[in-house]
Structure 1
Amino acid sequence: MIKESLALYNRQLMKILMLSVILVIPLTLLCYFATFYFYQQLTNQQYPNLYALFLIIVNFTLIIPVFNRLAISDIEDEEDLSVWKLCYEFIRHFGIILFLTIPLYILGVLGSFLLYIPTILCFSLILLIPFYVSCSKVNDMVRRAGRTMRDEHFLLLMDWLVILSVQVLAWGLIMLPFENFENNVYVYGIARAIINSFVFPLLIFYLTFRYTHAEERL
């Protein structure tokens, strides 16, 4: 699946770059500066790290429908989608993803007091639901996400580890040239946006292949 994801990435490189400029970079900067604001304005007792984690998660999940749709259209040899149609996927599914992510995130955080089992379940659903937002009903989205979660089990945890590991690795590599310079919040924000613009599409392509094959096996 990694090979297929890289091939897909190469075929759709121009659209990826355009979507990154239009969506990924602005969204990443918005989430990054919102995170910076929370850390500046909230005390440790107000748990700014929980707000930061939420923003990191939605920074990724909100753009899943865009690149998932791009991947599916390529895999199934559908007609070529314009960048604006793909941007519409972001606008179209923005509300429902937030609507489902917020309560799941709250339950996941509260579930950390119960041996992390509810946390794992909720965070898995947060990751999966954006891949099924094309369903007409919320129940169908949750049911298909739950079915995939049932079939994938432990591999979902591996997906989260892959996402985090790639992020950390890419962040470490890109910041190496800047380690001897005096950097500020704007440099880090722009660097993170550039990283996400290249890494997020590849991760979503990889996960699309995984969950597309999972659906085919059902």
Structure 2
Amino acid sequence: VPNLRGFERAVATGLDRIAVFTAASETFNQRNINASIAESIERFRPVTEAARAAALGIRGYISTAFVCPYEGLIAPERTVDVVRRLLDLGVDEVSIGDTIGAAVPSQVDALLDLLLAELPAEQIAMHFHDTRGTALPNVLLSLQRGIATFDSSAGGLGGCPYAPGASGNLATEDLWYFLSRMGIETGIDGDRLRAASTVIERQLGTTLPSRVRRAGLPQPRGAS
């Protein structure tokens, strides 16, 4: 929700949560929403005030929390600074984005060291793209640090025009399979999830990047 007009439209749908978007990289933020980080935070202030007055939950998304396609590596302290600004606005959950799918577990660990000193794990979500195959290792590291909320998309759909080469979010099927095989209950029906991705793939006329979508579930030889 970028402004009060967007907020009013969101509230009219009956949603109980809204989200605001910024970045840890100044260059990416300028290209993505045509504003500095400070300007974007100030734009959100009337929106978050209205959301709090309406007793709505507020999530704050932070793009390029680890690596920026224009600035390179982002120091974890920069991301934490943006988190603090969002918390000051009244955001009750932050989503930490690896927008171009370049972060590795050691970077995630270093950032979580700082974040978990600022807010509880329950208020942190992780948003990994799988451009370089690092999303699930990063999920595992995050789980070990107590994080239990992860963003994903059916089939791995997504991307960003201002993040050249970035693939979509971690595929929900891949995340579901990974968690389920580790005995972690998700409440997701895997068959229906994969069926939904099949519909999306047909509608778009493209091949989605989900590994589970392509390989299916493991079957013993001779099984029907």
TM-score (ref. length: structure 2): 0.24
Between Structure 1 and Structure 2, the one with more helix by share is 1
Q: Given the two structures, how large is their TM-score scaled by the length of structure 1? A: 0.24
